[in-house]
Each structure stands twice: as C-alpha cells, then as structure tokens.
Structure 1
Amino acid sequence: MTRQKVALVTGASSGIGYAAAKEFALRGYKTYSCARRLEPMEPLKEYGVIPVVCDVTSPESVENLKSQIARECDGYLDILYNNAGQSCSLPALDVTDDMFKQCFEVNVFAPIRLTREFIPLLIKAKGVVGYTGSVSAVIPFPFSSIYGATKAAIHQYAATLRPELEPFGVRVLNIVTGGVKTNIADTRGVPETSLYQVPGIKEAVKERQQMAARNNPMPAEVYARKVADDFELVTLRGKLNVYRGHMALFLGYLMYWCPRFVVEKILNRKFGLTAIFNQIRAKYSKTNVD
C-alpha cells in the first residue's frame, strides 16, 4: 500500500508557516504544524492539519515532537520545513544580549537542532529539509545586522548540509525570501540612550521595520503554493536556493551586479537616512561618544 506522506512546518501560528501547513494538507500530506501557542493554529484542523505545541528553542520540546511524529507516522518524515523566525530591526549598537540571543536561538540554533533530531525520519523517507532564508542575508538593509546575520548563517548551513546529506538521499532546500505579507515585523523603538537619537531616527526605523508591508508583499498563500511546489520538485543535485516573495530574485542578485557603496547609498536614501547620518556625523564631530 502507498503510505501517506508526512510534513512538519514550524512557526505555523501565522503568516508563511500557517499558509504552508494548510497548503501541504490540501495536497494530501499528513501535516503537523507547530508553534509555541496552540490557539492560533486551531483553524488549521479544518484542513486536516495536526497542530502541536512546540518551542523550537527547547531541546526537550523538540524531542517530544520527534517522538510523537515517529510514533504516529511509522518513523517517516517526508518534509521538514524550518520556517519559525524571529525579527530584529534595530541599530546594531542598540541590540541587547537578550535580543540577539533570542534571534539566533530561533533563526539559527532551532533549525540546526530540528534537522539533527529529525534526520533519522527524513533518511527513512528520503525526504526534504527546507529553510526560510532571506534576501536580508545578502543585502545590507539598515538596522538589520542581527537578523541578516542569522539568515546568512542559515544560508551557509544549508549550503554545506546539502552535500553532507546527499549520500543519504535527503534533499536540502533554501528559500531566499523577499517581501511576504506576514506579521513578523519588529515593533521595538530606538532607546532614548541610543547614539542614533537625532531628529527623524524614530521615523526611519519604523519605515525600515515596515519595509515589507509597504512594498507590495506577496500574499502568504501565494508564497506557500510556490514553496510547496519547490519542496515537491527539488532533486538531490538540483537547485539549493529558490527565490520567493516580492523582489526576491532581484535583491538576491543585486550585490553581484551593483557596487556595494552604490547599494548602501540607495538604501540610505530609501529609508531617509542620508540626512540623519549627516546629523550624526556633525553631532559626534563636536561631542565625544560616552
């Protein structure tokens, strides 16, 4: 008998993860969705999704989820979609230890942990492990140093993982993501003690945080359909990186086409930072930084 294929989507309480879990279920997968809170995932049950509470930053929680899926699916997992994400859009000098630790815990350490723990199930199924990457991994968006660093780390992890898993018949997919309509945007403001506290900085940071929402983002449902296709079509020696979301392909290759100083100038102008940075230069040319 042909067994039912199995998919697991992390970060499925909203946005990309929610839409992807729904899409896999509609395609006939036995789909598990996980997030820290169960309530937002309850409507997914209408489509046959199995919502599970799981904190991807907790080894014990991940181990419990692995045991459940292994038990209920005879040790098979065809798709592991590491989608859970944490935003961080603040000046690098204002990011606290707790902020950058949380961002790396969710965006880097968690997908590494899940991949390691679920690999026996993926090997048995000759499955696919995928990651929600980002154009922020390659574009120096202002106030995105921490988030961009986490995504650059996961891009390189996926790139190196691919040849390591090839002998086991497990495929690896990295989705370089552009603008998608989600609620992941950071809402924290610049602290009053920030070295960047000059007129206009609050508006500039807010503009950066709302960048995706204000630039014709792709609906999460459309993104999910494309990504589900990517998971089903990926081959062992095929593409590692696929570009999904508004402007993803253009931004993904922009640094290859355009000198870095030009890109930086364009971004500073887009987010209204040219005048702000001039103010900062003038301010600290006359005042010591304490």
Structure 2
Amino acid sequence: MPERQKTALITGASSGIGFATAIEFAKRGYKVYAVARRLEPMQELKDKYGITIFKLDVSSLDSVKEAKKFLTEDTSGYLDVLFNNAGQSCTFPAIDVTDEWFTQCFEVNVFGPMRLVRELAPLLINAKGVIGFTGSVSGLVPFPFSCTYSSTKAAIHQYAATLRLEMKPFGVRVINVITGAVKSDIEDKRPLPATSIWKIPEIEEALVLRRQMAKRNNPMEADVYAKKVADDFEYSSALNVYRGTKASYLGHLLEWCPRFIVEWGLIRQFKLGDVYRILSEKYSKEHID
C-alpha cells in the first residue's frame, strides 16, 4: 500500500509568512492547501508550486465548515499540519478602538483559530498531526497603541498552551511561534479618528514609528522564517518557539528587565516623551466630555 502523502493547511496565505510557509511545505513534499479571503494573490502558489488554493474566511463558521467538508473528502480525513497564521492588525490607542475594529481583530486572531481547531480536530487526530499558531512578541511586551492586537496574541498564547495539554491523549502536538520582525504587509495604515484625544501634531511621528516597528528592525525574510517554522512543525517538541528578528530577546525581556525600565525604554524608542508631556498638561486643565 503506498505511503500517504502528508497534508498541510496554511491560513492567511495571500502574502508574507503564510505565502512563504505554503511554498516551504510544498517543497518538502506536502500536499498543501493555502487559504485566504482573496484568491488572486495566491494564484502563483497554484501555478508555480501546484498548491491547492481556495477561499476561507476564518471569521465565518459557514466558511470553515465548507473547508472542513472539502478537506475531509480530498485528504480522506487526514491533516498533518494546521498552521493558524491568518492575522489582523490593530494599532490604535485603546480608547479609540471601535467595537467593529476590536471585534474583527479578535474574530481573525483568536476566534478563527479556535473554530478551525474545533472543526478540523478529527482530521488532525487521524493523522497524529501538529497544530501551530503565529504568536507574537506583542503578546508579551506592552508596545504602545497595541492593546487590542497584543491582547489577541496573549489570548492565543494561552489558548495554545492549554490546547497542547488537552491534545496529548490524541497524539497531536501544538506549537506557538512567538514571532518577532518578519517582512510582511501587516502594517495598520488607518488614521486616528478625528475625535481622538491623542490627535495632536506630535503624535504622528510616534504612531509611524510604532506601526513600522517591524520594518525598521531588520526584519527576517519570510522564506527564512518559513524554513525555521517548517522545521518546528516537523521536529520541535517545545510549545513556544521564537522566530523572527529579536523574537527571543523581546520574548524574554520582562523576565530579566524590570517593567518600569521597559516602559521607559518604550516611551523613549517611540518618541512619546513630548506627546505624553503635552497631553498631560492639556488634560490637567481641560474637562473631557
């Protein structure tokens, strides 16, 4: 009887990490399913690498159920790798984030992976497969203007840690890729709301510095990251692996550096000193309605 070809599902595969990881698994002989909300950016994956592409919106239960039906039929009920990589950025002061924005961010970054794990668990158990998540150093370090995004990543870190324990009886491994700087197009380009109390001229530079943090810190090439992550899926027994520029350093920063020093460093790095001073002076005199 011929050996079964291994299978991998990569979400958020239209660019960056997902795109590169889909290629890497295909090169390793996997039958790869690359999914995203848009097909066009993934066409090269199909044409050049023979990867199966289809639309999947992780925030839609119906879409996830359709994907499960297709995968069950196409793989005979086996899935060796589930890489929950789809992500939604949200880089705004906490008090400016609308219900729509934080709901969408949690839908994509947290609830989407939870849906996929639940629905695809039978296929992963049949294959004794591996479930992976794209975590982030933002889930560990309090980067300014990242309350929403950081909280989604902190949530997925803990979800992965507990899921790892629960999946042990079924022979399914779980890994959480705590990610530093990687070349990708995840920058949030939306402007601050006109009504924001943060909206002073001095905020613009600070906001750009924060939103382009990865781009300005020698980000790892996506294909290099993909090779490391594919190795992690195939060989690592650890829960947390640190991939991307400065991932290990930032991932352990608060374990050895006092929080007040980290906070001082972040204010300095993102040039928030003048912003904080101006806002403090302004709102010590003005009444906010």
Calculate the TM-score normalised by the size of structure 1. 0.98
Which residue, 47, 50, 53 being the options, matches 2:49? 47
Greater shift in the superposed pair: 186-195 or 123-132: 186-195
- Rounded to whole Å, the distance in 1 between the matches of 2:199 and 2:31 is 51
Report how far residue 198 of structure 1 moved. 2.1
1:281 is aligned to 2:280: yes
* Identity rate, percent: 60
1:263 is aligned to 2:265: no
- The residue type equivalent to 1:26 in the other structure is K
Report how far residue 192 of structure 1 moved. 2.0
1:76 is aligned to 2:75: no
Contact 1:189 1:205 (C-alpha < 8 Å) held by counterparts = no
Report how far residue 242 of structure 1 moved. 0.0
Calculate the TM-score normalised by the size of structure 2. 0.98
Query: Aligned residues, how many?
Result: 287
Q: For residue 21 of structure 2, what is the aligned residue in structure 1?
A: 20
Which residue, 61, 70, 87 being the options, matches 1:85? 87
SS for the counterpart of 2:242 is strand
Contact 1:189 1:202 (C-alpha < 8 Å) held by counterparts = no
Contact 1:14 1:40 (C-alpha < 8 Å) held by counterparts = yes
Report runs of 4+ in structure 1 exceeding 2 Å deviation.
none
Could you say what the CA RMSD is over the residues aligned between the two structures, in angstroms?
Answer: 0.7
- Rounded to whole Å, the distance in 1 between the matches of 2:194 and 2:172 is 49
- Rounded to whole Å, the distance in 1 between the matches of 2:24 and 2:200 is 46
Q: For residue 142 of structure 2, what is the aligned residue in structure 1?
A: 140
Report how far residue 288 of structure 1 moved. 1.1
Contact 1:136 1:148 (C-alpha < 8 Å) held by counterparts = yes
- Rounded to whole Å, the distance in 1 between the matches of 2:136 and 2:22 is 20
Runs (5+) with no aligned partner, structure 2:
none
- Rounded to whole Å, the distance in 2 between the matches of 1:72 and 1:199 is 55
Contact 1:88 1:144 (C-alpha < 8 Å) held by counterparts = yes
SS for the counterpart of 2:64 is helix
SS for the counterpart of 1:189 is coil
- Rounded to whole Å, the distance in 1 between the matches of 2:25 and 2:79 is 13
Runs (5+) with no aligned partner, structure 1:
none
- Rounded to whole Å, the distance in 2 between the matches of 1:133 and 1:189 is 25
Report how far residue 181 of structure 1 moved. 0.3
- The residue type equivalent to 1:173 in the other structure is I
Which residue, 98, 101, 105 being the options, matches 1:99? 101
Write out per-residue CA displacement over residues 112-147 of structure 1, whole angstroms, 9 at most, x where no aligned residue.
000000000000000000000000001000000100
- Rounded to whole Å, the distance in 2 between the matches of 1:184 and 1:49 is 23
Report how far residue 171 of structure 1 moved. 0.3
Within 5 Å, give how 1:164-203 maps onto structure 2: 164-203=166-205
Write out per-residue CA displacement over residues 87-117 of structure 1, whole angstroms, 9 at most, x where no aligned residue.
0001111101100000000000000000000
SS for the counterpart of 1:172 is strand
- The residue type equivalent to 2:170 in the other structure is F
